[in-house]
Amino acid sequence: MLDHAARPGLALSLASYNIHRCFGTDGRYAPERTVEVLEALDADIVGLQEVDMRLLVDGRAQLDYLAATLGMHAVDGPNIKGRRGKFGNALLTRWPVASVQRVDLTIRHFEPRGAIIAEIEIEGRPMRVVVTHLGLNPRERRHQVGRLMLALEPGGADRPTIVMGDFNEWKPTRGPLRHLDRRFGTSLRPRTFPSRLPFLPLDRIWVWPEDGLKRLAVYATPLSRITSDHLPLRADVAWDAHELPGGWRDSIPITNV
């Protein structure tokens, strides 16, 4: 835990995790393993991808089960909707959610994709959190990043912003993620895929103001290597009061990291 008693500001922890519908690399459907990994991550805000709300756990939809078991607020961001339910992104947070925008990033002839843009209230002050999962085709990702950047233009300078997800991109500088790097700071690229022997940095977390990112690491344990085909990312974030946008500068200390 970071001690912010002498320098009030904001501290929190983040995680981004493609949970692969709670199917492990051993082929087992085991939502209890997903919960165990999320409990170990102990993050205040979690972005999830490949949440299959069509699958039930103890009579509840997968996202409802995860949120209830972890005691967190949940926001769904379905990319696919059908008679049996929904599939896509999700957000879990310890703090209340004030508003949600669901952005359609689907490109014609490709799999449906989308993003959640949520405003979370922390001690009455807003933080913007983005969770997304981009496509497999480079041209598709280029258009999706463009749409996402347009959606993020309004109201970004007056509140901290988190962008996280599975971006399916591994090119260090030439890919479309360079536009996010320019806006939110160059992302670190730890390898998260495939989980048993990761060599591709598909999952990312951006933090703005970018000086707030204190630590970013892949959570790799024997359990996390079999729980999903991706390893989760965990980030520790802390801003001093003077580093925050104007409306946040007199924020009271929060020390959840």
Tens digit of pLDDT at every position of the chain (257 positions)? 334 344 468 999 999 999 999 999 999 999 999 999 999 999 999 999 999 998 889 889 999 999 999 999 999 999 998 777 789 999 999 999 999 999 999 999 999 999 999 999 998 889 999 999 999 999 999 999 999 999 998 866 788 999 999 999 988 666 899 999 999 999 999 999 999 999 999 999 999 999 999 999 999 999 999 999 999 999 999 998 888 887 665 544 444 44
Name every residue whose Cβ is closer than 8 Å to that of residue 4 and which is 6 or more positions away in sequence.
Answer: 11, 238, 253, 254, 255
Superfamily the domain 9-248 falls into: Endonuclease/exonuclease/phosphatase (3.60.10.10)
d(CA 221, CA 232): 10
Residue 18 to residue 36: CA distance in whole angstroms = 15
pLDDT (0 to 100) of residue 230: 99
Cα–Cα separations (whole angstroms), residue 238 to 60, 114, 118, 142, 194: 35, 28, 20, 31, 30
CB count in 10 Å sphere of residue 4: 19
pLDDT of residue 2: 39
Q: Which two tokens stand for residue 17?
A: 């995790």
**Domain residue ranges of the chain, discontinuous segments joined by +:** 9-248
pLDDT at 56: 85
The DSSP 8-state label assigned to residue 239 in this structure reads E
Angstrom distance (rounded) from CA 108 to CA 112 = 9
